[in-house]
Amino acid sequence: MSAQTEADEPRPGGRSTGAPTIYDIAKIAGVAPSTVSRAFSQPARVNTKTAERIHEAARELGFRLNPLARALPTGRTHTLALLVADITNPVVFDIIRGAAREASLHDYTVIISESEESSERELVDAQRLLPSVDGIILATTRLDPPSIRALAKSKRLVTINRDVGEAVASVLPDLSTGVDEAVAHLAGLGHEVIGYVPGPTSSWISERRAAAIARAADAHGIELVEFANTIPTREGGAAILDDLLESAATAIMGYNDLMMLGVLQAATARGVSIPGELSLVGFDDIFGSDFTVPALTTIRSPLAEAGRRAVRAVLGIEDPHDLLPTELVVRDSTGARA
């Protein structure tokens, strides 16, 4: 089956009245239409000089290959789906950029889908995308393990910040380094009681961050207070400020930077001194976390590298068995206990 554009099938040997076709390219390049088809679907089988003439003719005509038609002879669409829970969260910016750049190196295009924190919508979107993509990356998934495993049986699938077992490849951070550095930093500032504000109950990584903080706090002889699960937004952080101030904690670590920025903004509006009365530590080091006054101390994750590695994994180029390093970035939102 030859590769075609999105226009209707033309009459062999004739110029179509719509979008240019392989027959138009063949006429200009002086080759058979079947040779044009091979140049796009099986380039290794076409002489280099001939391929150059064909691609030059294609550029001259403004020819655009239909990915679905291209998939017919090869079984591949050269597209990948990247599903995120909240596209407005800056944590996904670098993941998307890293994934898109790596995909481009391998002649792939990335399609972005947002679920708005809904596991039901995420599953529907993933199922709809399955027939038209070569692989799926769940970047901030809210799906349960059975749903993820079911999708992985239909198409190559990789998760970021989520582990569902050996059946599904995962790109994961090494939380211990960054968390240990953060808790040691707070201990060195004299804090004896710290708190953790978790994210959504459906977030696998939130539970792992809580466990890592608990281990580090225990190692440093620090008491840990865990608050109620909160939506991972600035609004969610602002809403929990009263609970933080009523607790014995003098330093707070949050599920992500957005929540801690919300706490910071709400505290500033109320006249609560940060870090004089309350020290804050976020996660991820998103774009803008250093724009506030005071700038936010945070645990940095290599988000662009996570996106890049996920693409390589879903294409079968790399096995993402190594954990990504994390590190503490100290700014002005942490200080000595009052």
- What pLDDT, in 10s, does the model give residues 126-160? 999 999 999 999 998 999 999 999 999 999 999 99
Average pLDDT over the chain, rounded to an integer? 89
- 132 vs 19, higher pLDDT: 132
pLDDT at 7 exceeding the cut of 50 = no
- For 41-46, what is the mean pLDDT? 76
- Residues spanned by CATH 3.40.50.2300 within the chain? 77-171, 174-302+324-329
How high is the pLDDT of residue 71? 52
Q: How many other C-beta atoms are found inside a 10 Å radius of the C-beta of residue 59?
A: 10
Identify which of 206, 202, 95 has the alpha carbon closest to the alpha carbon of residue 147. Answer: 202
Q: Where in the chain is the domain with CATH 1.10.260.40?
A: 1-75
Q: Among 17-26, 122-131, 188-197, where is mean pLDDT lowest?
A: 17-26
pLDDT at position 165 is 85
Q: Which amino acid is at 266?
A: A
- Pick the range with the lowest mean pLDDT from 3-17, 113-127, 136-150: 3-17
- Name residue 87's amino acid: I
Using only the alpha carbons of the chain, give its radius of gyration. 25
- Topology at the third CATH level for domain 174-302+324-329: Rossmann fold (3.40.50)
Q: Mean pLDDT throughout 168-196? A: 96
Residue 4 has pLDDT above 60, yes or no: no
How many percent of the chain have pLDDT more than 70? Answer: 91
Q: Look at residue 122 in the predicted model and tell me its pLDDT.
A: 95
Cα separations in angstroms, 238 against 7, 118, 263, 268: 53, 22, 5, 11
Residue 44 pLDDT grade (very low, low, confident, very high; cuts 50, 70, 90): confident
pLDDT of residue 178: 97
Confidence of residue 117 (pLDDT cuts 50, 70, 90): confident
CATH class belonging to 77-171: alpha beta
pLDDT at 52: 87
- Reported as a single tens digit per residue, the pLDDT across 265-277 is 999 999 999 999 9
Record: fold of 1-75: 434 Repressor (Amino-terminal Domain) (1.10.260)
pLDDT score at 75: 59
The reported pTM is: 0.76
Span 281-313, pLDDT tens digits: 999 999 899 999 999 999 999 999 999 999 999
* Residue % of the chain over a pLDDT of 90: 68
